[in-house]
Structure 1
């Protein structure tokens, strides 16, 4: 079934990947190869691929270490009938993080799951990254499509300067610009006012969180460095303030 003309599947898939904090992980049982499914917490790598923090004592981890092929189901947790909401099934391989890659995965995971600080350093826990080989997106009638990784993952080939600046930028936004975060959420994304925080930035956008709620702020243009990110966030803050002023003026005119 082909998607309707007004449907942007790649954008929706990227949003689901960035906003999801839990998912159903399917692995293959060692020995029998039978399917095994478990609930896991997750975060996203700067390219959008899922990050897991799992214990080697868990059955799903033992399965992965024997055969890395996995699938991961993510959904937008829509109210009412969950089948009416968008969902994506990723297929790929789960790989244990190298010593060099672990700090980035750790920072991004703990940014969205701070409670994991209590066990992240336990010897049996390790970070894994799911490297997708494809995805099946379901978002309603006429909105079902298979996607390749190139269609929903973010290209990082020219973004090394941004990745180096990301941790500092996230800390700066959360320490000094919470008002701007709330403006992005309420005036640009239509969310309710809350204590919104920044959990990550990448070339395509910024991830935000308040309690269990998550948002994705897409950038109107790609950014690949710290200075570019700062300019973009200042620009969007200005647009949010202007939108608030115009909405007030329209209300008064009415």
Structure 2
């Protein structure tokens, strides 16, 4: 059994999440919880797309503090599955990268993302509380959830092109990553994003996270590690895949 690493578990929960419960503060100070679609920016900060007509948007305009809950849903007791509650401060984002990352995870949102009453928000973590099972309850700081980008300018600049290249030319490798390394079911797996620590995969409503065995900060290092992972996946017999 692998050693429990709360930081890795928390990061994986955020990277894989497509939806979360956003709790904002109403005009009377009472909490208001709503369901939102989310993705993550390259640095791991959750990103959402919200309408000016939504109650939570008005709440955030008065007080940018909020809490975001993400959880793994599975069979059996729902409380037996990992979940992460993240304290955040919402900030409006006009940059192209958060928009690109969100629409890669939620392509259907492209039909309304540019409506004048919609805007992207980065939900910047200030702390978190992880419940990952019996005896695995941990408080985390913001840095525990985020991915350092200070030394990865080359990778950041190449991310969109690398994602497009993998999706256009390496569907076979993506299927191997998903099925033989991650134990996911077959399907048309694509890359929705990448960062120095891993690859985000999607297949319809399903998501997966492929962690890199070591940090990558350049396109050359990325090519090398993706080939290494593809070779490792090919070495796993189909019947022995996790």
TM-score bracket for the superposition, by shorter chain length: over 0.9
Structure 2 equivalent of residue 11 of structure 1:
8
Matching residue within 140, 155, 173 for 1:162: 155
Segments of structure 1 that go 5 or more residues without pairing to the other structure are 249-254
Instruction: Name the TM-score, length of structure 1 as normaliser.
Output: 0.91
The verdict on how the C-alpha distance between 1:111 and 1:245 changes in structure 2, with shifts beyond 3 A counting, is closer
1:193 CA drift (Å): 1.3
1:246 CA drift (Å): 10
1:243 CA drift (Å): 1.9
Runs of 4+ that moved beyond 3 A: 245-248
What does the per-residue CA deviation read over 1:18-46, in whole Å, with 9 as the maximum and x for residues that have no partner? 0000000000112x111111000000011
What does the per-residue CA deviation read over 1:79-137, in whole Å, with 9 as the maximum and x for residues that have no partner? 2321110000000201111x3xx200111000010000110110000000011010000
Aligned residues: 240
Structure 1 equivalent of residue 183 of structure 2:
190
1:152 CA drift (Å): 2.0
SS state at 1:105 partner: helix
Matching residue within 22, 25, 35 for 2:22: 25
Matching residue within 83, 88, 109 for 2:102: 109
Structure 2 equivalent of residue 84 of structure 1:
80
Aligned Cα root-mean-square deviation (Å): 1.5
1:247 CA drift (Å): 5.1
| CA–CA separation in structure 2 for the residues paired with 1:8 and 1:143 | 10
